[in-house]
């Protein structure tokens, strides 16, 4: 199912199999689906204790109130120290929760970056008058940043300037409280956003009359229809995520290219809905090799605007396309059996 037939932005809230969930529908298509799990939420901040370095990887296992976590790039840290870390994603099965020591304090309009001073405005905000106005709002805090930086997010483009100022102040207050905490034991200092906070923070404003079950069915369906009668199927295995593009009854080279480009444009949405990351291998529909460059450009354009870090690797000798994607969300098929 693709979502509501209504145009515009629609949010859906409710429970799916006993878990709080939220869905985003834009112009009739389900664009996002998030749900609560039992795992630590990305964005949560802990005072953690270093317990065991990992030789050869430069990482360190740390202890938190919610279990073991793994910090990359931990060179110079000694065992037994208490440090501030933030959950950066979801753990793969049997592995520790990934954390980072590069903290971010994020809300709908602003991000505060401790240790990275400077005021920046999202590149997506093109209007020069608006950029000047936002800069003036941010400059109000320039003498009170205490070594932090401020990033104004793309959502600030249409927000009331007073709301943007309040967002900066709120994010700075949260950062100062955490950074000045001098406690000496492991503790959760900030909880990560639940589905309602995430939706408010990350999604455009819309009505709230969507059907959460409809969003779930769209997210969990293995295949999605493509224009012209084809389909793209996304399935996870223990080793990788496999994507197959099928043109349907039309097997002409033109149909293959059309289906492949449509699948490339839709792939960030499909991976996001299903919470899939790691190694991704795509079996595109047959097409002439001369069209590969155009297809790569379509992939680059599609993932450029996606919020989850994705590296496009390239073609294998068998004609498959490989990419690597950060595991930023829980896998839908692992939580909902």
- What whole-number distance in Å separates Cα of residue 3 and Cα of residue 95? 35
Does the pTM surpass 0.75? The reply is yes
pLDDT surpassing 70 at residue 4: no
pLDDT computed for residue 5 by the predictor: 57
- In this structure, the dihedral spanned by the alpha carbons of residues 283, 288, 292 and 298, taken in order and rounded to 10 degrees, is -80
Check whether 254 has a pLDDT greater than 80.
yes
For residues 222 and 234, give the distance between their C-alpha atoms in angstroms, rounded to a whole number: 6
> What's the mean pLDDT in 199-208?
95
Distance CA 275, CA 269 (A): 10
What digits encode the pLDDT tens for the residues 80-131? 999 999 999 998 878 899 999 999 999 999 999 999 999 999 999 999 999 9
Q: Mean pLDDT over all residues of the chain?
A: 94
Residue 183 has pLDDT above 90, yes or no: no
Report all structural domains of the chain as residue ranges with CATH numbers, in order of start: 1-36+194-210 (no CATH), 45-100 (2.40.50), 105-193 (3.30.230.10), 222-335 (no CATH)
pLDDT tens-place string over residues 22-46: 999 999 999 999 999 999 999 999 9
Tell whether the model's pLDDT for residue 182 goes beyond 80. no
The confidence score (pLDDT) of residue 2 equals 47
């Amino acid at each position: 199912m693709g979502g509501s037939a209504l145009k515009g932005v629609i949010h859906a809230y409710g429970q799916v199999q006993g878990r709080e969930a939220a869905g985003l529908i834009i112009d009739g298509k389900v664009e996002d689906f998030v749900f609560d799990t039992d795992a630590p939420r990305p964005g949560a901040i802990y005072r953690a204790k270093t317990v065991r370095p990992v030789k050869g990887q430069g990482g360190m296992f740390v202890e938190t109130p919610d279990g073991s976590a793994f910090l990359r790039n931990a060179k110079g840290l000694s065992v037994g120290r208490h440090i501030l870390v933030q959950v950066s994603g979801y753990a793969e099965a049997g592995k520790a929760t990934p954390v980072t020591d590069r903290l971010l304090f994020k809300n709908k309009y602003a991000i505060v970056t401790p240790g990275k001073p400077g005021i920046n405005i999202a590149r997506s905000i093109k209007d020069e008058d608006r950029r000047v106005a936002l800069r003036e709002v941010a400059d109000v805090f320039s003498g009170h940043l205490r070594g932090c930086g401020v990033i104004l997010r793309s959502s600030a483009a249409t927000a009331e300037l007073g709301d943007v100022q309040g967002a900066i102040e709120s994010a700075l207050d949260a950062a100062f409280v955490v950074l000045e905490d001098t406690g000496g034991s492991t503790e959760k200092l900030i909880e990560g956003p639940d589905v309602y906070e995430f939706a408010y923070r990350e999604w455009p404003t819309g009505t709230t009359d969507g059907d959460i079950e409809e969003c779930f069915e769209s997210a969990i369906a293995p295949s999605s229809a493509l224009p012209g009668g084809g389909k793209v199927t996304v399935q996870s295995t223990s080793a990788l995520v496999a994507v197959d593009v099928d043109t349907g009854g039309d097997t002409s080279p033109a149909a293959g290219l059309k289906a492949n480009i449509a699948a490339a444009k839709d792939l960030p949405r499909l991976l996001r809905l299903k919470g899939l990351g790691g190694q991704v291998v795509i079996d595109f529909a047959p097409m002439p090799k001369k069209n590969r460059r155009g297809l790569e450009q379509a992939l680059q354009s599609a993932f450029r605007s996606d919020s989850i870090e994705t590296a496009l690797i390239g073609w294998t000798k068998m004609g498959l396309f490989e990419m690597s994607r950060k595991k930023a969300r829980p896998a839908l098929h692992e939580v909902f059996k």
